[in-house]
Amino acid sequence: MVPLTVNGVSHEFDGDPNMPILWYLRDELGLAGTKFGCGMALCGACTVHIDGRAIRACVTPVSAADSKEVTTIEGLDPDGNHPVQRAWRSHNVPQCGYCQSGQIMQAASLLAENPAPSDEEVIDGMQGNICRCGTYQRIFAAVRTAASEV
Amino acid sequence: MAQITHVSRRQFIQSTGLGAVLVLGAQIRQNSIFAVARAQSATSVQPNLFVSIDSDGTVTITCSRSEMGQGVRTGIPMILADELEADWSRVKIWQAPGDETKYDPAGKDGQNTDGSRSTRHHFEIMRELGASARNLLERAAAEEWGVDASEVYTKHHRLYHTSSGRSFDFGELVDAAANLSLPTGGNAPAPRLKHPSEWKYIGKDLPVVDNFDMSTGGAVYGADVSLPGMKIAVIARSPVYRGRVRSFDATEALQVSGVEQVIEIPAMADDTPTEFRALGGVAVIGTNTWSVMEGRSKLEIEWDDGPFTAHDSSTFDDALRESARRGGSVIRRRGDVDEALSTADSVVESEYFVPYLVHTPMEPPVALVDATARPVQVWAATQAPNETRQYVAEALGLEKTDVECHITLLGGSFGRKSKPDFACEAAILSEAVGAPVRVQWTREDEVRNGYYHAASAQYIKAGLDASGNVTAWHHSAAWPSLMALWAPDVKAASTLEAGLGLIDLPYNNIPNLQIETGEADAMIRVGWYRSVNNIQHAFATNCFVNELAAAADRDPLEFMLGLIGDADEMDLTEDGVEEIWNYGDSIDDWPIMPKRLSNVLRTVAQKSGYGKQMADGHGLGLACHRSFHSYVATAVHVVVRDNGSLHVPQVDVAIDCGRYVNPEGVRKQIEGAVVFGHTIARHGKITTSRGVVEQSNFHDYPLTRIGDTPLDVRVEIVDDYVHLRSCGVGEPGVPPYAPALANAIFAATGKRHRALPLTDDAISI
């Protein structure tokens, strides 16, 4: 039994503790905002927070969240108005949108740890998140905008 | 324009049999698109299949195209909303399911969202649909006021009586409009369309309608739909194309917690064309995606590798090169290239190669099918809902009309999700287990068992006279044809593929031209990929013309402009071309216009500061290309370091796409196309060994990331021909990027690169 909190709600996970958090969120809890992209921590589509820090949910087992707080895109802000989310909309970042949950969670974690990142730090921080539609230019601008508001 | 509109409208009504459809008029969304609704319910009216209006004034516009990031759920409804004079903030979008008898209003593409054609095929019909709905409301208001309809006008969601100033909100007219008589089909007068100067949304920036959902995790993609009792499946497929299961042992797989069943999907019969059918394999089915993935990894399968184990890049690539040199099938001929080459002052020849590529949308293919329901229910991230219905029906031994297909958002696609093999798999499994089944492809599945952009070789030979004028251009290309999906033995290039930037070689001022194609074996699933063969054709032509400019000691910009010229139109029939595909459209409606290509090239040169002094290691490269009727020129500024690593500080793109709807959408597509092009230029390479694709995921099939992407992409939408028909936007930004980069690298280093990708190793000095 793995006790954990997901978006503020307490859960007791009684499955295989090796199950990646991604599939617990999507298939067991029905939190579909976190996406599957590669299964190997190569693309960042599955990024969620454990105790506020970005992790790749496709390779992180539920056991790693034992007694911890998992936050997904659905729980980042009750109204969807986290500064990063607002910046994403004001820059019209998404195209297909599929990677954007992960991008936003990564950016939110980056700014929580480093509220005033340099350009290089933004690029380093977002390097693990692939956007196949190629929205990087707007992602970069949106992170800069969000940094000015965090 | 009115006359053209009227004709198309009549054709549509004829093609759908308006009279019969009207019988169904009382059912919501069951009437012909031009049938004015009777009361659809107590609280709404539906002037046609593409718009309904609720009594609270909410306007719901139908989107019948698939959204995969190109902004179609915003762009197409914008056109209708504009003509309706709706307030965009009171518009909702309803995603139509697959049904080409209702939701293909232009009657041109069966609801297939591909070929960069949504806007160009829907611009006029969406205007008509919006105008006809506005006309209905105006007639309703006129009746309510007891005045002539000519005294009523519509402005921003309200109807006004000209002389009295009385007004109604749209919602207040629902009952009155619902009671209006139906127009009499093709004899109904065409409603007045707004003059472009009256447009309120067309040509203006709007954010996409899904912006909020996409930033909050609420957007629904293929894997986000669930049904009660649903099972989840992953499938082990043959590593070699058209291989089949010889035997398998599922003992260990079935021991994995959450795995419930292991089922073999039979391979196609040997003589069945692949098309979009299920490949076959061994499916592991259960309740959790991770469980079935774990189960699949424990399967013991012995494969019969089938007929394509000789497909090996080490030999296949050379065979393509040889075929390109051999040529054989002449598709365009002007003058006499042999004679011109024999008398040329100098001859330049080069060979170009572009490898297989695979789509890698961030969302791998996924579909949910309930084959126990009638009609069968499909939820899929699909570009082609009606072909999905067709192939699912075939897989289940049913009729297409027995299958309904609901379209989710697509987490990227780039051509992959035009091919509904994954929905067929889900259908077969759903029938077998008697429950709804979601088939989830993994990244490895997508990379190893995909539909691949054709590898290609090109050989070009040109003659120059003593003044550096090009007197002859002999171009030959070879690639395995995507037509082999339907005709497996086909070796010849198709008219469609040759029409993607090869037969329409833009250098109209060269007096002697010969373009031909060689044969190639299709030994893998070849399928279309964003901008398709334009990628390699634009690469070779733009790089080779740059080589010629250097050989002639001329500036590349001036040289290219001289070859393209400023003719109004290029007539390929004069060069003996009898059949030009022209992206499926009439050449009269969308002619090839050299002056527009020159125009974007001049524009991008000016915007990018072409001609300015560059520091050592810096270079500016140009390329231009017409595709999907649009004209795009790209300027890449590159900085090359000694180790071959490079940095692209700035990219300028000029696009002339005729009449555009949402300029913000155009900019986004071009920005994305540059990144897509950067992946092709720098990373993309699929290879095979003994028939097996050697790559599997993003470690060995890398994509451009934020750290190597151009971050300063400047898009200039060229307005000079905005009065002409809409052209494609989703794809045309891709082809010019790689050659512009290669030409920039030459400008920076003096080194030529004739094969993609342009890896650091290749570039290092």
Q: DSSP secondary structure string, B61-90? A: EEE-S--SSS-HHHHHHHHHHHHHT--GGG
Positive or negative torsion for Cα B699, B705, B707, B710: positive
Q: Cα(B183)–Cα(B178) distance, rounded to whole angstroms?
A: 13
Q: Cα(A146)–Cα(A86) distance, rounded to whole angstroms?
A: 8
Q: Cα(B589)–Cα(B592) distance, rounded to whole angstroms?
A: 10
Report the percentage of chain B scoring pLDDT > 70.
93
* Cis peptide upstream of residue B375 (ω within 30 degrees of 0): yes
Cβ within 8 Å, pair B411-A97: yes
User: For chain B, which domains are there?
Assistant: 2-202 (3.30.365.10), 222-307+365-440 (3.30.365.10), 313-357+451-763 (3.30.365.10)
Report the percentage of chain A scoring pLDDT > 70.
100
Q: Is the Cβ–Cβ distance between B625 and B735 less than 8 Å?
A: yes
pLDDT at B205: 98
Estimate to the nearest angstrom the gap between the alpha carbon of B186 and the chain centroid.
Answer: 33
Find chain A residues with C-beta within 8 A of B222's C-beta: none
Q: HSE, CB side, 13 Å, CA atoms: give it for residue B507.
A: 32
More confident residue, B579 or B203: B203
> Residue range B329-333: average pLDDT?
98
Report residue B636 as tokens.
Answer: 């890449």
Q: Cα(B689)–Cα(B199) distance, rounded to whole angstroms?
A: 56
Beta-sheet pairing, B231-236 with B437-440: parallel
pLDDT at B756: 98
Find chain B residues with C-beta within 8 A of A49's C-beta: none
Burial class (CB in 10 A: 0-12, 13-18, 19+), B644: middle
CB count in 10 Å sphere of residue A114: 14
| Tens digit of each residue's pLDDT (9 = 90 or more) over A50-104 | 999 999 999 999 999 999 999 999 999 999 999 999 999 999 999 999 999 999 9
Q: B217: phi > 0 → left, psi -120 to 50 → alpha, else beta; which? A: left
Q: Is the Cβ–Cβ distance between B744 and B638 less than 8 Å?
A: yes
Phi, psi of B58 (to 5 degrees): -65, 130
CATH architecture of the domain with residue range A83-147? Orthogonal Bundle (1.10)
Cβ within 8 Å, pair B706-A126: yes
pLDDT at B455: 98
> Residue range A130-146: average pLDDT?
98
Find chain A residues with C-beta within 8 A of B257's C-beta: 15-16
- CA nearest A90 in B: which residue? B207
Cβ within 8 Å, pair A127-B705: yes
* Cis peptide upstream of residue B757 (ω within 30 degrees of 0): yes
Cβ within 8 Å, pair A130-B362: yes
- CA nearest A26 in B: which residue? B224
| Tens digit of each residue's pLDDT (9 = 90 or more) over A123-136 | 999 999 999 999 99
Q: From the CA of A67, how many Å to the nearest CA of chain B?
A: 22
Cβ within 8 Å, pair A37-B664: no
Find chain B residues with C-beta within 8 A of A138's C-beta: 668, 671
Listed by start position, the domains of chain A span 2-75, 83-147
Shortest CB distance from A92 goes to which of B70, B664, B703? B664
Q: Cα(B487)–Cα(B204) distance, rounded to whole angstroms?
A: 45
pLDDT at B21: 19
Report the percentage of chain B scoring pLDDT > 90.
89
pLDDT at B765: 63
User: CATH assignment of A2-75?
Assistant: 3.10.20.30
CB count in 10 Å sphere of residue B20: 9
Cβ within 8 Å, pair B217-A138: no
Find chain B residues with C-beta within 8 A of A17's C-beta: none
Average predicted confidence (pLDDT) for chain A: 97
Shortest CB distance from A140 goes to which of B207, B215, B706? B706
Cβ within 8 Å, pair A127-B707: yes
Estimate to the nearest angstrom the gap between the alpha carbon of B308 and the chain centroid.
Answer: 29
Top residue of B362, B442, B531 to mutate, by most chain A CBs within 10 Å, is B362
**3-state SS, residue B55:** coil
Indicate if the pLDDT at residue B20 is higher than 50: no
> Residue range B252-263: average pLDDT?
98
Indicate if the pLDDT at residue B560 is higher than 90: yes
Positive or negative torsion for Cα B142, B146, B150, B152: negative
| Tens digit of each residue's pLDDT (9 = 90 or more) over B445-467 | 999 999 999 999 999 999 999 99
pLDDT at B179: 79
Q: Is the Cβ–Cβ distance between A109 and A54 less than 8 Å?
A: yes
pLDDT at B184: 52
Average predicted confidence (pLDDT) for chain B: 93
Indicate if the pLDDT at residue A30 is higher than 50: yes
Find chain A residues with C-beta within 8 A of B224's C-beta: 32
Number of H helices, E strands in chain B: 20, 28
> Residue range B62-68: average pLDDT?
97
Top residue of B70, B205, B215 to mutate, by most chain A CBs within 10 Å, is B215
Cβ within 8 Å, pair B710-A137: yes
Is A106 at the interface with chain B, CB within 8 A? no
What is each CA distance from B540 to B350, B472, B534, B535, B743, in whole angstroms? Answer: 9, 16, 10, 9, 11
Find chain B residues with C-beta within 8 A of A140's C-beta: 706, 711
Q: How many CB pairs below 8 Å do chains A and B form together?
A: 192
Indicate if the pLDDT at residue B761 is higher than 90: no
| Tens digit of each residue's pLDDT (9 = 90 or more) over B496-555 | 999 999 999 999 999 999 999 999 999 999 999 999 999 999 999 999 999 999 999 999
Residues 48-67 of A with CB under 8 A from B: none
Find chain B residues with C-beta within 8 A of A136's C-beta: 675, 704-706, 709, 711
Q: From the CA of B731, how many Å to the nearest CA of chain A?
A: 12
The residue to which tokens 């509904």 are assigned: B420
**3-state SS, residue B119:** helix
- CA nearest B712 in A: which residue? A137
Indicate if the pLDDT at residue B282 is higher than 80: yes
| Tens digit of each residue's pLDDT (9 = 90 or more) over B356-382 | 999 999 999 999 999 999 999 999 999
Enclosing H/E stretch for B133? helix B118-145
Find chain A residues with C-beta within 8 A of B412's C-beta: 95-96, 98, 132-133
